[in-house]
Chain A
Amino acid sequence: MRAQFVLSEVWIGLRRNLTMTIALVVVVAISLSLLGTGLLFVKQVDNTRSYWQSRVQLSVYLCTSQAIDANCNGAVTTAEIDSIQQALKSLPEVISVTYLSQPQAVALFKQEFANSPTLVKYTSPSQIPSSFEIRLRNTQADAIPVTNSVDGLPGVAQVVDDASILNNFYKLLDGARTAVVIIAIFLLVAAILLVANTIRLSAFNRRRETSIMRLVGASNFYVQLPFLVEGMIAGFFGWLISAGLLVAVKALWLNGLQSYFPYGVTLTTTDLVEVIIIALIMGLLICGTTSFLTLRRYLRV
């Protein structure tokens, strides 16, 4: 194997159809970037989901003095709080009941919305109700029976199932994620077609060399190697650009998006590196196999 010779042939090939090579590098770069962005998005959504999974609960909000709910008649009394707690504890679906007093609720609200100081500023502490936070045995199935049995008890303003709120949020995120992945797949198909075309053109440009190689008895592998390396190099440069773009996407866009996600859900550098490595494998695989398969059809023995 003469590495230097193969590389010089590859260099000649790349230079000879420079415009196609550049187009190839750009398409590979864009499709890998989109794919990577999609994967980062998927990771963010998954992280959020598992963050909430352990925290999802049923909240029973109690009446405040300003409550306008139909069931409320002034602020909840201590006796009412006790009887609601009794009722909740007697339910078999309930694992635990935590009472969140009004000052505690205010403190929690301030912490969770620390990213939105305006909201905190314009919310009067008296508007924030005290509540029972309930963990259910089965977050999906038990929400409705438990809601039904406490809704309407004196002092209960509203029963809110966190899961039902989150589901809408998830739907939105899943939609965005699917869109990005579909666009990436279309671009990958475009990249595959472009690789095939570039290699075909390159094979046509080098048909003299190729026919002489076959005539003097070069092995098929040796005949195909320059094309294969050519495709892989284009794939590699496309990947290099996409890696840069992905770092930028994470720094500029996803980190900016971070404030809309719950505190504590972040994309780590490991996540980014993982996605970039997946992009490299995809890039080399696509360029390598496509040029190999194209050549098998093009170069007869």
Chain B
Amino acid sequence: MIHFDNVTKTYPNQGRPALENVTLDIEKSEFVFLVGPSGSGKSTFLRLILKEERPTEGRIHVAGRDLARLTNWKVPHLRRRIGCVFQDFRLLPNKNVYQNIAFALEVIGKPRRFIRKVVPEVIDLVGLEGKRDRMPDELSGGEQQRVAMARAFVNRPTILLADEPTGNIDPATSIGIMKVLDRINRTGTTVVMATHDAAIVDSMRKRVIELEYGKVVRDQSRGVYGQAY
């Protein structure tokens, strides 16, 4: 599903590469944790998958497409197959829960009938029944992250990327967030999650890829977080 072949990424005017000679495969419906200290290149890895950044060297394939060959005007089609969740939720403050989720479908031109049908379904999936008319500032951080997950998942992507989704959320609420991600993963969606949360990684027992200074230093199925950062 995601294939990195000897990928190096050096940002302009930066001495040390953010990612260096990374080669790895992530299969369909896998759940992968991306761990490592701050600045080790986790976010860079996720941005490369979205083609928000281009690799300096090496090849990347996502969902069967060679990203180097993907023209700019086809990038939106790639992104429709990838959902994204971030530490800072990125909700629209002037739209309610329903509208925030529907927005993702409206801007890719889905018919209104379809939107009316699927948005309530994902609202239920992420456990926000009865809160569809709330504005983001009337929700807790955990609830806001659920809205963001619903928005990322509403178009049934094949891949879900999560960059520290529990970074702004207390441990108890994080468990709920992880349950939702697990539920999404069980529908066959590949999930890649960058995190600093040792407790979560240790409790889930999924594949763990550890980065350090841009290099893969560990790739372990059913792994743990490792030493404390």
Contacts and interface: CB of A to CB of B under 8 A. Distances in A.
Interface string B77-107: 1111110100000101110000000011011
A217 B106 contact: no
B196 interface: no
A27 to B, nearest CB: 29
Interface of B: 50, 72-73, 75-82, 84, 90, 92-94, 103-104, 106-109, 112, 151, 155
Contacts of B109: 1-2, 222
A121 interface: no
A213 B109 CA distance: 11
27 contacts: A1-B109, A5-B106, A208-B93, A209-B103, A212-B103, A212-B104, A212-B107, A214-B79, A215-B79, A215-B84, A216-B79, A216-B104, A217-B76, A217-B77, A217-B78, A217-B79, A217-B81, A217-B82, A217-B108, A217-B155, A218-B76, A218-B108, A219-B76, A219-B108, A220-B73, A220-B76, A301-B75
Interface in A208-257: 208-209, 211-220, 222-223
Nearest to A225: B107
Interface in A95-151: none
A220 B75 CA distance: 10
B78 to A, nearest CB: 7
Given A1-B109, A215-B50, 17 more contacts: A2-B109, A5-B106, A5-B107, A12-B94, A208-B93, A209-B92, A209-B103, A212-B92, A212-B107, A214-B79, A216-B80, A216-B107, A216-B155, A217-B108, A220-B73, A222-B108, A301-B72
Interface of A: 1-2, 5, 12, 208-209, 211-220, 222-223, 301
A173 to B, nearest CB: 52
B112 A2 contact: yes
Nearest to A215: B84
A93 to B, nearest CB: 69
Contact of B90 (A5, A212, A223): A212
A211 B76 CA distance: 12
A13 to B, nearest CB: 12
A211 B77 contact: no
B50 to A, nearest CB: 8
Given A209-B92, A216-B79, A217-B79, A2 B106 contact: yes
Contacts of A1: 109
A218 B107 contact: yes
Given A2-B112, A208-B90, A222-B107, A216 B151 contact: yes
A209 B80 CA distance: 16
A1 B111 CA distance: 8
A280 B120 CA distance: 45
Nearest to B76: A217
Nearest to B102: A5
A67 B109 CA distance: 87
Contacts of B50: 215
A263 B156 CA distance: 76
Contacts of B72: 301
Given A216-B107, A216-B108, A211 B79 contact: no
A223 to B, nearest CB: 8
B122 to A, nearest CB: 13
A212 B86 CA distance: 11
Nearest to A8: B106
B90 A211 contact: yes
Nearest to A213: B107
A217 to B, nearest CB: 4
A214 to B, nearest CB: 7
Contacts of A5: 106-107
Contacts of B92: 208-209, 212
Nearest to B74: A219
Return the 3 tightest CB-CB contacts between A and B, nearest first.
Answer: A217-B79, A217-B80, A218-B107
Q: From B75, B76, B78, B81, name the one whose CB has the most chain A CB atoms within 10 angstroms.
A: B76
A211 B82 CA distance: 15
A214 B109 CA distance: 13
